[in-house]
Amino acid sequence: MTSLPSRPGTAAGAPQARRPTRRRSRRRESLTALGMVSPAVFLLLLFFVIPVVLAFALAFTNARLVSPTPAEFTGLQNFRTLLDDPLFYKSLRNTFYFAAVVVPLQGGLALVLALLVNAKVKGVNFFRTVYFIPVVTSMVVVSILWTLMYQKTGLVNELISQLTFGVVHGPDWLNNPSTAMPAIIFMSVWQGVGFHMVIWLAGLQTIPQDLYEAADIDGATRWVRFRYVTWPGLRTTRTFVLITITIAAFSLFAQVSVMTQGGPLDSTTTVVYQAVQTGYAQQQTGYASAISLVFFVLVLAVSLVQRFLTREKD
Amino acid sequence: MTSASPAPARPGPRTPLLRMLALQAARIALALFFAFPIVFMLVSSLKPDQQIFGDLDSIKAFLPVGHVSLDNYTGVFDRVPAARFLFNSIGISAVTVVLGIFVNSLAAFALSRMRWRGKKIVLSAVIATLIVPFETFALPLVWWVNQLPWLEVNGFHLTLTEGWLDTYQVQVLPFVANAFSIFLFHQYFQSIPKELDEAAVIDGANWFGIYRRIVMPLSGPAIATVAILTFLPAWNSYLWPLMVVQSEDLRPVMVGIQYFFQLNPSWGEIMAYSSMITVPVLALFVAFQRAFVSSIASSGVKG
Amino acid sequence: MESRTRRLTVSSIAALAAAALVAGCGGSGSTGSSGADGDTLTLWTHNAGNAAEYGVVKQIVKDFNAGQSKYKVKIQAFPQGSYNDSVVAAASAKKLPCILDVDGPNVPNWAWGGYLAPLDLSKGKVAVKDQLTSTVATYQDKTYAFGFYDVALTMYSRKSVLKKYDIRVPTLDQPWTKGEFMDALAKIKASGKFKNTLDLGTGDPGEWWPYAYSPMLQSFGGDLIDRSAYKTAKGALNGEKAVEWGKWFRSLVTKGYAPQKSSKSPADDFRNGKTAIQWDGSWSAQANTDKFGSDLAILPPVDFGDGPKIGGASWQWGMSSTCSNKEGAQAYLNFSRQTKYFVDFAKATGTIAATDAAAQQVKGYETGGQFNIFLKAAQEFAVVRPVTPAYPYISTVFSKTARDILAGANVSSALDQAVSQIDNNLSTNNYSTGS
């Protein structure tokens, strides 16, 4: 326990003479809180809630992107079509597959990276920056390189072949229905891991130094330090990383759009990719909205379950 | 966890030399793994198109060999008003970041440290907004911002105009309030001991004072993180400006990359332009992440 | 205490006001996007970043503005890759410009959707009947758009390569048959000298797929839709001929002739000698000539049974139906119909001028010229993409199906599925069709 910092301007003054009653101070606290959240809430209502409600309302119509006639109310027609759409089930399966692999993989790897560059070693600033590079590199550049590396004669297979002394010859990654999704996963983790490394890093800064010092005095091993100091200290960061990676993983779109366009044979199509393709290229706005609405409900359910599970453990 | 002076990096138990070397080797290997696209981009930006694709099959793709020149960079300026686009993007991103930090941290403060009815619902609702990808409601949003009024300052006159299309504000304001930032601030603020607030209240501080003088100064890493993570999407915004901005003078950098995709795309120029718009972001990251560590260290000292 | 709360509220409002102010400083352009402001008309073009073609547009506008005093045209340029998104967004906000260009196959969709108004082009100096048919977009017996140029699909190879493997150089009068083509590929493949025996450009995700590969389907005897009534794709897209096309298309990959997915720049691969024969467009002709000189072989498309085919229609000009000054827009469009502008566009873009008279003035395209083959191909082989508002939908379904077929999907069931999707789209939307 270290002592609280004394702050010039707030601490030095004499004790307040007035002590408002508890009820009044509670009421004031509520009002102040409302004032503080109101700019954000107002902006979210204006630029998120209203357009999203508009978008979801379209799910119950036959709205088209280009049409001479206004949209007509069609009830649950779009949802009935969706239930019979084999592509939607493929998209759903691929999306869950992607999320199930990426969430633990990217979250875990990002933590490893964060720990690696949180040490007091020469050049950590350099390494942090380098690990962050894929996050800021344009998708155009990334897609050229990875498309090339994933070719049958590309760099990835070259490496595999060298590492196994020529025993294993890799596949044509992006053109093979069984390897396209793993290839997308690997590339996505590579591109996104630096982002979550930064968040873990911020979390690591909140762990009090004296806890480590105490552990050192006790002669704790690295693992013990991690298990009993670092890991519990990252509790709130963990929830954050888990929820945000999950949601980002469910929204997989850009990589698929530039690398595979959902192929080969629908092996990489995802729900958001299908929604965008349906809504823009195919001009079926109403149907695309129905896809988005169903997707929203599903992810919301998953997130609620996730929050419930992480809460129970605490 | 009651310490008020969290620390950035720690020496830890004595590290054997071998272990240190192994760790450093791992860091370097990972650096190569993450750095290759930017090396490719920078190197390719110096080569003619045909050579870029000729070199792709070998290690030459990553080496500045063959015909190397700055021609692609001059080509960029002939094709795209790059300076104007950079200026726009810097302005749009900077304003989004500054407003975003203020608006979102304020909301997160109320959500994490104050007692009031309904805050759990508000927090859950805010997080739920993350789930809806932007693409799915972009079009209704276009229609909607076109209905919104705007006060325009004309010398000493205020005029009410209708429709936000083709402006700067339409590229900034919809992205200021951000669930991701609110959530991040919220989680971070929770790790700052509440005892500090109580002490400050006893000392007569009001809530805004606690926010401004206690919580924010201790939140350097969170501010830096939010700054970087708000800056990125603002800098990369592409679909939205295409839909709402018609004047070339108001366009941001990412739209510029589309200028190069003609029937015969000029890949060298694409690489040069990509370099021009990526390197500033990296520089910013370097700057921010310095602040990131020092801000806490200094706040600990000042405190 | 009250004052504290108030102070907070005030600062919250101040934040919003600050936002408003900062954003307001540059936001003076809010009047710029209505179709016309009196006699000032807005014109949109897809040419941002394409200095050559944009230059011609600017020249015409300048000449028009200088030549009369009634109207003034103002240009806004957009990058072409996302031009449709920009137009659709503007249409949804009722902010279309008066004059705009449009990719040919989209004209029926935009006309049906109420974006475009029919044109009266009788006052132009160049007669509509003198244009290549693929460069005039008619829908329901009305003309909605016209183009100054078209482009042509072609195969590039090298004369020395063909000679080395003893392959006949095909001509317009005597193109390769399917058998000859496959023999040629087999010979080149056997040499093992090329990374790609044939490169179809399959790495491109967009409209290239229906543009480039549906002519092959048509040459086999199939089509994207039954053009007798535009009510069904049955028979056309899943009949015997179409299945034959699908099996052949897949065989290019299984036999190792063509990559399932090409690199990002097939044209550079060809110029680097990685590819023996490349399926590409006339727009690459100049760069290929610069590289290979007289060794470059520009080959007509293969006749797979129903004659050689290429896609028709490129960028064209039209007028929006919401334009508040249609007379002005018509005046501009008619003014632009002068042979010299047809020539300028074709020269600037390396494309085929839409009239014979103009083409004769473009170096290389004149009779006997090196690129005259493109003009002939556009005249004789061009098939426009189906004239129906359903085209954008058909285009995505065809692209996906062709991609699946290349990846090894069962050809007949993939085509059957495409037909049922297209037919379903045709029946649930009340399209009016026909040229």
Cβ atoms C79, B255 nearer than 8 A: yes
Looking at residue C290, its pLDDT comes to 94
Q: Specify whether C323 is located in the same domain as C215.
A: no
Regions of chain A with pLDDT less than 70: 1-21, 311-314
Looking at residue B83, its pLDDT comes to 92
Tell me whether residues B207 and C81 touch, CB distance under 8 A: no
Tell me whether residues B225 and A202 touch, CB distance under 8 A: yes
Range of the domain at C421: 153-311+388-428
| B289 shares contact with chain C (CB less than 8 Å) | no
Tell me whether residues B133 and A212 touch, CB distance under 8 A: no
- Tell me the chain C residues in contact with residue B168 when contact means C-beta distances shorter than 8 Å: 22-23, 25-27
For residue C307, give both structure tokens. Answer: 């004659």
Looking at residue C26, its pLDDT comes to 34
Is residue C138 in some structural domain?
yes
Q: Specify whether C254 is located in the same domain as C338.
A: no
ipTM > 0.90, yes or no: no
Tell me whether residues B107 and A7 touch, CB distance under 8 A: no
- Chains contacting B (3 or more CB pairs within 8 Å): A, C
Tell me whether residues A264 and C115 touch, CB distance under 8 A: no
- Tell me the chain C residues in contact with residue A63 when contact means C-beta distances shorter than 8 Å: none
- pLDDT at residue C23 tops 50: no
Collect all residues with Cβ–Cβ distance below 8 Å to C122 and sequence separation of at least 6.
none
| A306 shares contact with chain C (CB less than 8 Å) | no
| B139 shares contact with chain C (CB less than 8 Å) | yes
| B53 shares contact with chain C (CB less than 8 Å) | yes
Concatenated DSSP letters of B42-101: HHHTTS-HHHHHHHTTSGGGGS--SS--SHHHHHHHHHS-HHHHHHHHHHHHHHHHHHHH
Looking at residue C359, its pLDDT comes to 93
Give me the mean pLDDT over the C226-238 stretch. Answer: 94
- Tell me the chain B residues in contact with residue A239 when contact means C-beta distances shorter than 8 Å: 187
Q: Specify whether C193 is located in the same domain as C207.
A: yes
| C257 shares contact with chain A (CB less than 8 Å) | no
Regions of chain B with pLDDT less than 70: 1-15, 290-303
C positions 113-152 inside 8 Å of A (CB): 113-115
Q: Specify whether C169 is located in the same domain as C233.
A: yes
Band of residue C435 on the pLDDT scale cut at 50, 70, 90: low
B positions 270-299 inside 8 Å of A (CB): 270-271, 274, 277-278, 281-282, 285-286, 289-290, 292-293, 296
Q: Specify whether C241 is located in the same domain as C175.
A: yes
Domain boundaries, chain B: 12-69, 80-302
| A17 shares contact with chain C (CB less than 8 Å) | no
Is residue C51 in some structural domain?
yes
Measured CA to CA, the distance from residue A166 to residue A157 in angstroms comes to 10
Determine the CATH number of domain B80-302. 1.10.3720.10
Domain boundaries, chain A: 79-313
Count residue pairs from A and C with Cβ separation < 8 A: 85
| C110 shares contact with chain A (CB less than 8 Å) | yes
- Tell me the chain C residues in contact with residue A147 when contact means C-beta distances shorter than 8 Å: 203, 261, 263-264
Tell me whether residues A264 and C404 touch, CB distance under 8 A: yes
Is residue C7 in some structural domain?
no
Q: How many domains does chain C have?
A: 2
Could you tell me whether strands C116-117 and C36-37 are parallel, antiparallel, or unpaired per DSSP bridges? unpaired
| A144 shares contact with chain C (CB less than 8 Å) | yes
Q: Nearest Cβ partner of C19 from B91, B99, B153?
A: B99
Shortest CA distance from A178: residue in chain C? C407
H, E, C per residue of chain A: CCCCCCCCCCCCCCCCCCCCCHHHHHHHHHHHHHHHHHHHHHHHHHHHHHHHHHHHHHCCECCCCCCCCCCCECCCHHHHHHHCCHHHHHHHHHHHHHHHHHHHHHHHHHHHHHHHCCECCCCHHHHHHHHHHHHHCCHHHHHHHHHHHCCCCCHHHHHHHHHCCCCCCCCCHHHCCCCHHHHHHHHHHHHHHHHHHHHHHHHHCCCEHHHHHHHHHCCCCHHHHHHHHHHHHCHHHHHHHHHHHHHHHHCCCHHHHHHCCCCCCCCCCCHHHHHHHHHHHCCCHHHHHHHHHHHHHHHHHHHHHHHHHHHHHC
- Tell me the chain C residues in contact with residue B273 when contact means C-beta distances shorter than 8 Å: none
Distance from CA of C92 to the nearest CA of B (A): 6
- A126 or C185, which is more confident? C185
Looking at residue B221, its pLDDT comes to 85
Q: Nearest Cβ partner of A121 from B24, B133, B208?
A: B24
Looking at residue B14, its pLDDT comes to 58
pTM of the model: 0.86
- pLDDT at residue C38 tops 90: no
Count residue pairs from A and B with Cβ separation < 8 A: 315
Tell me whether residues A65 and B114 touch, CB distance under 8 A: no
Band of residue C30 on the pLDDT scale cut at 50, 70, 90: very low
- Tell me the chain C residues in contact with residue B161 when contact means C-beta distances shorter than 8 Å: 30
- CATH number, domain of C185, equals 3.40.190.10
- Chains contacting C (3 or more CB pairs within 8 Å): A, B
- Tell me the chain A residues in contact with residue B11 when contact means C-beta distances shorter than 8 Å: 120
Q: Specify whether C58 is located in the same domain as C162.
A: no
Is residue C341 in some structural domain?
yes
Looking at residue A20, its pLDDT comes to 54
| A26 shares contact with chain C (CB less than 8 Å) | no
C-alpha distances out from residue C61 to C65, C74, C121, C128, C418, Å: 6, 8, 18, 21, 44
User: Percentage of chain C with pLDDT > 70?
Assistant: 91
- pLDDT at residue C22 tops 80: no
Q: Specify whether C168 is located in the same domain as C294.
A: yes
Q: Specify whether C296 is located in the same domain as C327.
A: no
Shortest CA distance from C110: residue in chain A? A66
Tell me whether residues C89 and B173 touch, CB distance under 8 A: no
Distance from CA of C197 to the nearest CA of A (A): 16
> Tens of pLDDT along C108-130?
999 999 999 999 999 999 999 99
3-state secondary structure of C211: helix
Rounded to the nearest integer, the mean pLDDT of chain C is 89
Band of residue C434 on the pLDDT scale cut at 50, 70, 90: low
Q: Which backbone phi and psi does C138 adopt, to 5 degrees?
A: -110, 145
Pick the CATH number of A79-313 from 1.10.1200.10, 3.40.50.1100, 3.30.450.20, 1.10.3720.10: 1.10.3720.10
Q: Specify whether C142 is located in the same domain as C244.
A: no
Looking at residue C2, its pLDDT comes to 43
3-state secondary structure of C72: strand
Q: Nearest Cβ partner of B99 from C15, C51, C86?
A: C15
| B41 shares contact with chain C (CB less than 8 Å) | no
Tell me whether residues B12 and A303 touch, CB distance under 8 A: no
